[in-house]
Amino acid sequence: MGNSTGKGEGDEEEEEEEKDGDDVEIVQKKKKKKQEELVEEELPLGVEELLESGDPVLDLSYRRFKRLPARLCGLTHVEKLYACGNSLRALPEGIDQLQGLRILALDFNKMEDVPLAVCRLANLTRLYLGSNRLMTLPPELKNLQSLRCLWVESNYFQWFPKELYDLPNLRSLQMGDNRLKTLPPDLTRMETLRGLWLYGNRFQTFPKVLLSMHGLEILDLDRNKITEFPSLKRLRSLRLFSYDHNPVTEPPTVGEEVLVVGEGAAEFLEEREARNERRRKAEEEEAGESAFGGEEPIIQGILKNCRSNMTPSEADFKDEEDVDSPMAELEYDDEAFDYETEELICEGEGFEYEGEDLEYDRAHMDYEYEEEMKEEA
């Protein structure tokens, strides 16, 4: 009687075929890996020199990379890495070895998620992720405790990412051209935020929570569907408010120091400047009348008394040297009012103020990375 549990010749042949199939799959994987390594070695023209330069600034933008070369992870001297305008969907896992990295630009790629290795770059101060395919941010983003500037414009965010609440030093947030309709009522937790760009979203009403963001200095709500703006006078830190391409015809009420950009803004600014000029002239005239109302002005009296004690030659000498007198040293020290915009006006955000002309050209879809402004000590 034969062994019913024994394997027949057919079973043995089938197992052999499966084994052969596994071997073929392993061989194919190894072959594919070698091909990938070969592709990696065939770097675009000029990239080899960049990788070996020792320069702390490495620009690999617009090189048609589908993956960054693995040897990049060993360049621990790199402080600024620009890899925008490629076809990247991920980054090498070892990218977190670049602990000296302060600026990372990954705009105009094909990323659907923020690589978790990026969230381990603890010294990042600026992260650019615009024009990708992001819908959410990972909880691990909270590890970027030094982050001051984040750009995630031109993605697919429908809800404001509350993961940003855990970034205690974030000052500049660029979320233009997404799909936001509302803002969370606890947005006020972002107390360090100074610049907020929300243009090109889907707001139909002004988000009331913004009225409690007293630290905001720049607020951009261009290209939404807001029909009415409340008074923004309570935002005492506000310096620039842009509301262009909304269905309104005039700017909201703002503080005297606020520059506005939008429908009717030019006329508003001209009228305000004319009103301020009239006020200044009236104050000057009033001061002049009170100064000559019967008594000799104090300063003139002091100068006269000083001259009366001088010999004629000394008086003539003082006329020539008045520029060196103590009165001449009474200069307005504007250094005491150094308005810091280091992180609010980031590279490429295009906010320029020249004389009486206001140019506000965002050009956010094709900006150039310039040398970073000095980091705060």
Q: Are residues 101 and 156 in the same domain?
A: yes
Q: Are residues 159 and 197 in the same domain?
A: no
Pick the last residue of a domain from 262, 292, 322. 292
Q: Are residues 86 and 202 in the same domain?
A: no
Give the pTM: 0.68
Of 116, 125, 123, 65, nearest in space to 95 by CA: 116
Strands 195-197 and 80-82: unpaired
Q: Are residues 230 and 162 in the same domain?
A: no
Q: Are residues 149 and 239 in the same domain?
A: no
Q: Are residues 150 and 56 in the same domain?
A: yes
Q: Which CATH number do you get for residue 102?
A: 3.80.10.10
**What is the tally of structural domains in the chain?**
2
Residue 300 lies in a domain: no
Q: Are residues 109 and 221 in the same domain?
A: no
Q: Are residues 162 and 212 in the same domain?
A: no
* Residues 63-104 pLDDT 10s: 999 999 999 999 999 999 999 999 999 999 999 999 999 999
Of 249, 240, 193, nearest in space to 221 by CA: 240
Per-residue pLDDT at 282: 78
Q: Are residues 229 and 121 in the same domain?
A: no
Residue 16 lies in a domain: no
Per-residue pLDDT at 283: 78
Pick the last residue of a domain from 264, 292, 320. 292
Per-residue pLDDT at 276: 80
Q: Are residues 50 and 155 in the same domain?
A: yes
Q: Which two tokens stand for residue 348?
A: 């490429």
Low-confidence ranges of the chain (pLDDT < 50): 1-4, 34-39, 296-377
Per-residue pLDDT at 327: 32
Complete edge-to-edge strand list for the sheet that includes strand 149-151: 57-59, 80-82, 103-105, 126-128, 149-151, 172-174, 195-197, 218-220, 240-242, 259-261
Per-residue pLDDT at 359: 42
Per-residue pLDDT at 29: 59
Residue 29 lies in a domain: no
* Residues 142-195 pLDDT 10s: 999 999 999 999 999 999 999 999 999 999 999 999 999 999 999 999 999 999
Residue 69 lies in a domain: yes
Name the residue range of residue 161's domain: 36-168
Residue 336 lies in a domain: no
Per-residue pLDDT at 358: 41
Residue 376 lies in a domain: no
Pick the last residue of a domain from 261, 292, 323. 292
Q: Which two tokens stand for residue 208?
A: 């009331």
Report helix, strand or coil for 48.
helix
Residue 217 lies in a domain: yes
Q: Are residues 104 and 71 in the same domain?
A: yes
Q: Are residues 188 and 245 in the same domain?
A: yes
Q: Which two tokens stand for residue 278?
A: 């009239």
DSSP conformation class of 192 = T
